[in-house]
Each structure stands twice: as C-alpha cells, then as structure tokens.
Amino acid sequence: MIERAVEEADLDHVQSVTRRLKALVEADDGDAVARLLRRDPVGCVDLWRASADHNQQLLDVLRKVGCPQAEEFARRARAVGCLPGEEYLPHGLNPDGTRAASWTWAELLAQDEC
C-alpha cells in the first residue's frame, strides 16, 4: 500500500502531497518519504490550486522531512503571492521571492532625482 501511495501519488495537488508526506512520516517510513521526494513534488505542485494556508502546510511538512527544495518552494510560492508573507513587511519581496533589503522613501526619491 505504501509503495502505491509513493509511486502513484498525484503530485499536482498541494493537499494531496501534504497528506501523503504526513502519512509517510507517521508511518516512520523514511525510505518512502525519500522516494516520494525524488519524484519532485516541489516542481510539480500547482500553487494556484491551493490556498496560502495549504501551501504553508506543505512547506511545513517539507521542512520537517528535510526536503532540500523546501526553501525553493517557499520562494516560488511567495513570489506569486501563494504563501503568507507578513514577516517580510514593511520592505517586501524581490521578484524572486527573497526578502527585499530595507529602504526608505527618501532613498527612493533620491534615486529618482539622478
């Protein structure tokens, strides 16, 4: 049953991937987790078909299992507005989803004068 859950899992849906990873963690099957991650769920999931909360749940479980692509997923999801980003206020995010450097309105106005 675990083999089927890993090999035939639908990787398009954020909630499906999250549920499968959580179940494999509960079953304490690290090999199955690794096999599922090798199928690249981070690259397959459709960010637009899930809420920001569901994307956050997937990010949490990816981090929990030590997925190397977890932060890539976070950057990609934040860049398109599919993850909460309140911790990045007030300076915002760069187009690639990374935290923007601090800035002031005065600095922006000074750049415009050049």
pLDDT at residue 86, rounded to an integer: 56
Q: What's the total number of domains in the chain? A: 1
The parent domain of residue 54 ranges over 2-112
The backbone torsions φ and ψ at residue 53, rounded to the nearest 5 degrees and listed phi first, read -65, -40
Question: End-to-end alpha-carbon separation of the chain, Å?
Answer: 65
- For residue 47, the model assigns a pLDDT of 86
What is the C-alpha to C-alpha distance for residues 52 and 101, in angstroms, rounded to an integer?
A: 24
The pTM assigned to this predicted structure is: 0.72
- pLDDT tens digit string along 75-114? 888 878 788 765 666 777 777 767 788 888 888 788 876 5
Q: Are 22 and 60 in contact (CB under 8 A)?
A: no
